[in-house]
Structure 1
Amino acid sequence: MNKSLKYFLAVAKHGNIKRAADELYISQPSLTSAIKKLEAEMGAQLFTRLSKGVELTAYGIIFRDFAQDQQEHYFSLKHQFQDMQKRQFGKIKIGTGEVWWERFVKQAVKEYQSKSPASSFHLEFGNNLSLLNHLTNGDIDLFIGHEVLDLSPDCRVSFQPLFQDFEATYVSRHHPLATVRATPETIEHYPLLRVTPNHPRHQSVLANGLPHDELLEERIVYDVDSVLASIDMLNMTHAVMPYSHRAEHWLSDLGLVCCYIDRQIVGNIGIYTKLGESKSSVNELIHLINQNVENLK
């Protein structure tokens, strides 16, 4: 980071030239000279000299905001460089939904790590839009999730299908629908729990933005970003949770009951990667994921 900004922030933090100089491992006269030079360059006094230290002027307060912003950008850029270097040596950044992690991704990662134990690994959970956003921005190398049909043309990604699923509805074991045959009409009478719902901040990956559902305006809705927390919410309420029918055995072990499967709502699950990018480490992991999906079939 620019040395003058670093010096300025140290003085602003301590309000004392001597303590700032000690932190920076430079002499007090050198730091005083650097601050005076910075003030001359800016054409404004940044500090008011007091008997026991210094304090920021109105100009100094504005400059502190600028310097802090530059510092954050610097550390962010430094982190990106370090991450790029690690990824050149085999680090993989992967995104996935929790059910796919449990069903087959976890085993694929285990096999990959056994073959490349020295490789770094980054795992991120989230919904489709957030992971698509991270993929297009280069924050992850691939992710496993449902196919998004209304993608923006600016979203240059590739989708490799693995299998299909249906939308199922899950409830707690003490729910009124847990022991009867549920229907779409009876399900609508209960609060809706949405696991990792889409957020408006990620809708830039869609061609037409998030659709508006007027029916939800008249319904109690719980939005939860964790499957385990969602299970807690189901046990605390009479909410119903739409989720993949492929998760039935896993969620059953966690205490939930699948009360309905809508075979009219079909989804494609697959692997998203960025167009034009190919890495041997990523290709190896994709190969292992495909193998584990075949074993499940």
Structure 2
Amino acid sequence: MAINKSLKYFLAVAKHGNIKRASDELFISQPSLTSAIKKLESEMGAPLFNRLSKGVELTPYGHKFRAFAQEQQEQYFSLKHQFNDMQQRQFGKIKIGTGEVWWERFVRQSVEDYQSLNPANSFHLEFGNNLSLLSHLTRGDIDLFIGHEVLELSEDCRVAFHPLFQDYEAIYVSQQHPLATTPTDVKQIDQYPLLRVTPNHPRHQSVLSNGLPHDSSLEERVVYDVDSVLASIDMLHMTQAVMPYSHRAEQWLAGLGLTACHIDKNKVGNIGIYTKLGEHKHSVHELMYLFKQNVESIV
């Protein structure tokens, strides 16, 4: 791309502040680079560099053009990456998202089964919460993901939900926590810091019809927001925080030193597979079949 060459030349000179060093990096002659920069300045109708005795420096126009050039190059390389990813996916590459507990319970086995059947296919795995994975799915960055059903989705969020099973909300604490060995009252739980594992972020709320709800009950409570389940487990061992999480993780988390001090059977969630509406890929359907087979071991 001609525009990409001009941007590449300009950015090299801007980086080095010296035509010779930039020409050495670009493997072109110094006169050719000087001519290309002058041509670019002529096209833009403004001087991009001030010529100094020991090199060059950006003019105010040059600083503005550098921001533009960097953005254009980032978009160019991003587009090349997307094209490459599209080509790989035509040949069977599959990209899925999941929460960490579902990876531990049945997704890992499904991936292993899928790769044993398709050893030549590339694979991409992404961890995240429901809103971030929904956002990536709607943009086409992943093919499907495993997570809780999200209510009140935006009309622009063109996805399908395929239910697998249900879970309850459990409250986890470290095995040394005061609530770990005594009968737990709900009011007692509210007296301890709250740890929210992989919480939703405002930047992903566009997938919701009414945005993220505000919880006024947390305004005077100590809250830890942690984007990693394993780091959340460490935080529970370091503090007296309580962590709401799926009761389906009880066996796994027990092996990591946590205990479920309370299970609220009034808080029921649906777990399933999200896919994009209107897309019918053989690889996606094959993996969905494996999910449904392996999920039988935990329900």
* Rounded Cα–Cα distance in structure 1 between residues aligned with 2:265 and 2:271: 15
Secondary structure, counterpart of 2:28 in structure 1: coil
1:134-181 C-alpha deviation (Å, 9 max, x unpaired): 100111100000000111111000000000000000000110000011
1:169 maps onto 2:171 in alignment? yes
Structure 1: gaps (5+ residues): none
Q: Secondary structure at the match of 1:218?
A: coil
* Structure 2 counterpart SS, 1:254: coil
Distance in 2, matches of 1:70 and 1:186, equals 55
What count of residue pairs does the alignment treat as equivalent?
A: 297
Amino acid corresponding to residue 231 of structure 2 in structure 1: A
Q: Distance in 1 between matches of 2:229 and 2:183?
A: 24
Deviation by residue 1:31-69 (Cα, 9 ceiling, x = unmatched)? 111111111111111111122211111111111111111
2:138 maps to: 136
- Residue type at the aligned position of 1:210: L
Give the structure 2 partner of residue 57 of structure 1. 59
Alignment match, 2:19? 17
Shift of 1:30: 1.1
Q: Which moved more, 1:95-104 or 1:3-12?
A: 3-12
Q: Which letter does structure 1 place at the counterpart of 2:51? A: R
Q: Report whether the alignment pairs 1:113 with 2:115.
A: yes
Aligned equivalent of 1:44: 46
Counterpart of 2:219? 217
Q: Offset of 1:262 from its aligned partner?
A: 0.2
Distance in 2 between residues matched to 1:166 and 1:214, nearest whole Å: 23
- SS at 1:108's partner residue? helix
Letter of the 1:214 counterpart: S
Partner of residue 283, structure 1:
285
Query: Once the 2 structures are TM-superposed, how far is the Cα of residue 294 of structure 1 from its aligned partner?
Result: 2.2
- Could you give the per-residue CA deviations for residues 118-143 of structure 1, whole angstroms, max 9, x where no partner exists? 21111111110110011001111000
Question: Pairwise mapping of residues 1-297 of structure 1 onto structure 2 (< 5 A)?
Answer: 1=1, 2=3, 3-297=5-299
TM-score (structure 2 length as normaliser): 0.97
| Runs of 5+ consecutive residues of structure 2 not aligned to the other structure | none
TM-score by length of 1: 0.98
Q: Which amino acid aligns with 2:254?
A: S
The 1-side partners of 2:47 and 2:155 are apart by 50
Deviation at 1:221, TM superposition (A): 0.5
Distance 2:296 2:252 in 1: 19
SS at match of 2:146: strand
- Give deviations 1:89-131, integer Å, cap 9, x for gaps: 1111110011100000000000111111121111111110110
What is the CA–CA distance in structure 2 between the aligned matches of 1:173 and 1:61, rounded to whole Å? 57
How far apart are residue 295 of structure 1 and its match?
3.5
Q: Secondary structure of the equivalent of 1:152?
A: coil
Describe the superposition over 1:177-227 as per-residue Cα deviations: whole angstroms up to 9, x where unpaired. Answer: 000111211111111000001111111111111111110101111000111
2:185 and 2:86 map into 1 onto residues whose CA distance is 50
- Summarize deviations over 1:73-98 as a string: whole Å, max 9, x none: 11111111111111111111110011
Q: What code does the residue aligned with 2:285 have?
A: N
TM-superposed CA distance for 1:296, in Å, is 3.3
Q: Distance in 2 between matches of 1:12 and 1:203?
A: 39
Code of the residue aligned with 1:146 in structure 2: it is H
After the TM superposition, list the runs of 4 or more consecutive aligned residues in structure 1 that deviate by more than 6 angstroms: none
CA distance in 2, matches of 1:252, 1:223: 21
